A and B are shown apart, each in its own frame.
Chain A
């Protein structure tokens, strides 16, 4: 079985190539040793597996995202590398290619966006490239599927036995140092020359590995001596710059022979779009307008009608069908209660929001795939700088509106560690779509006329709290850490249907899985706790175990406006997943559907209490899945606990201000 690693620069069309080469089947798993997700797809025609790695410019990592690739090469067993290269940016892309060729595994180079390169007046002789690189070079247009068969053909031909690493001469000083270091290295399946080169380039994961075999002081001495000798004889001060210079020379020599330019160049479309969307005056309003449209579509124009239709379908035909089915097989009243009052009420109450969630994810994928996201980082940078963050931190936050879990993961692309940490901890303040069902429920019951305004105020509050927290943290705990910003602005691309639907599904399927696991299990548990009590089974709900647990919390929550045991119980279950709050209320108020639940809630809360409650839901704690991903991404229990603790504290304080302040103003 062949394991092929897909490696390439960011924005070279990696996802398109991945999709073109693999079927719909894929899974996300963990690497041994490092807990970072990898995406694996099954290559068509039974060729083996294709492993999608994060886009990188160089094997020497700068951000967490990039370290993934180095760690992969160091720890995983793979048969070949498929290197995707942007044909219109060869000089930069081949830098990574060179490092990969030095590793010595079989490499197939897919020269993507061949059409774009042609349009820019580049004439590329792929045969010559192939000759110098000593490996197949195939022109492809991944988005159109051109050249894919050729790629598959060469992947099939791969023979690991006769692959030799590419060797470039790095000058006498460095070559001697490489030999000296190689003599110290133990035998392993890893190529020694490559390890030595990466070491001198300053690749941290490689340093960590070598430290296990060679005394650290010896390593430091070799490095320092070599760097000093290079600085004395060459015009560059550091080893990594020197190595880069040699490689670039090599690349330029190759390109000189393999590429010819034709002089006619028109202003690319991307430049013309950028003149508008990152315009001095229009940049920000255009971004605001786009976000407004996204939310309008998701919650108003498209999402709500779909959700309503689904709700009618679940509470009508589905419930009736199950009910008469259970009747027909003569199920006991206990079984009927579990299924209808527990599972259908709990899971159904959440499933109705799937259309809205999917639509939001669709738009987020659209923003990502078109290339606009990088421009959002540009437009937002000045504002984010005020709060000690950079524009890139805004992207995890936008993704966080869909779901906090991918939002937290998206922070990997932020180079500065402290800014990345801050973004991870603050992203849960973004109101994810799982919280929306709760807002919709309460806003519909109490603020029907200003529903959109109330929901918008919550999104806005989340952002404000996150930014204020950022300011506080960067002036206290994370002080003296300079904020930096640099972003690549890829050319705009017309989003591709298949890629869009695939990434929407990727992001959204988690919700369906949650509905089948957490929410199903949680609903049954809640229902049971409300069905059983000290007095036995089938007790009055107010005498149940759940009423006791919720009642205790209720006393703590009374000062912020919702001292009922039902609210207390709903908040506990909301930690599993925010949308479970709705499921829980559906069960606890024994309501057949959302609209009658709204009626019941309207009788048990006053508007001020309801608003305080939804604000609390927005802020009070990241859900279980988010906590897990924060733990994984920060690799720090302290910061994970911090992210939970501070949100709880902030939620309580803000709800307290809203409720007590509102009462003073005579709103309660």
Chain B
């Protein structure tokens, strides 16, 4: 299951971010988002636009393609 499969407003635990683009992965890690983090999909923008995510009070935006490369599991 990936982050792109999660319902908006739902939370999940990150299993792996290995497949994410290197630059994005580094930035996610900088922001404290990595394996084991609990992440919430807050909303998405139309026409395949980016997702707003939240982890530990920290909001970030990433593209849908990147979100679909983040493996997650249900809590």
Contacts and interface: CB of A to CB of B under 8 A. Distances in A.
Contacts of B1: none
**SS of B interface (majority):** mixed
Interface in B1-53: 21, 23-24, 26-32, 42-50, 52
A273 to B, nearest CB: 11
Nearest 5 pairs between A and B by C-beta? A57-B30, A382-B49, A489-B59, A92-B32, A486-B27
A71 interface: no
A487 interface: yes
A485 B52 contact: no
Given A280-B46, A391-B50, A484-B66, A244 B29 contact: yes
Nearest to B53: A489
B28 A486 contact: yes
Contacts of A381: 45, 49-50, 61, 63
A86 B42 CA distance: 23
Contacts of B60: 486-489
A514 interface: no
A56 to B, nearest CB: 9
10 contacts: A89-B32, A274-B43, A274-B59, A281-B46, A382-B45, A415-B23, A486-B66, A488-B58, A488-B59, A491-B59
A92 B50 contact: no
A91 B34 CA distance: 13
Nearest to A236: B35
Given A57-B31, A62-B23, 18 more contacts: A62-B27, A92-B30, A95-B30, A270-B59, A271-B54, A274-B59, A278-B43, A378-B45, A378-B50, A382-B48, A391-B50, A391-B61, A482-B21, A485-B24, A485-B61, A486-B23, A486-B66, A487-B60
A16 interface: no
A274 B59 CA distance: 10
Interface string A624-647: 000000000000000000000000
A377 B43 contact: no
A416 interface: yes
Given A381-B45, A482-B21, A488 B57 contact: no
A511 B28 CA distance: 39
Interface of A: 57-58, 62, 88-89, 91-92, 95, 120, 241, 244, 268, 270-271, 274-275, 278-281, 283, 374, 377-379, 381-382, 385, 391, 415-416, 482, 484-491
Contacts of B62: 485-487
B42 A486 contact: no
A482 B69 CA distance: 15
A485 B63 contact: yes
A382 B50 contact: yes
A88 B58 CA distance: 9
B50 A280 contact: no
Given A120-B57, A278-B45, A382-B45, A489 B23 contact: no
B32 A91 contact: yes
Nearest to A375: B61
Contacts of A58: 30
Contacts of A488: 31, 58-60
A388 to B, nearest CB: 13
B21 to A, nearest CB: 5
Contacts of B66: 484-486
Nearest to B30: A57
Contacts of B49: 378-379, 381-382
A381 B32 CA distance: 23
B46 to A, nearest CB: 5
B61 A280 contact: no
Nearest to A278: B52
A509 to B, nearest CB: 33
A398 to B, nearest CB: 17
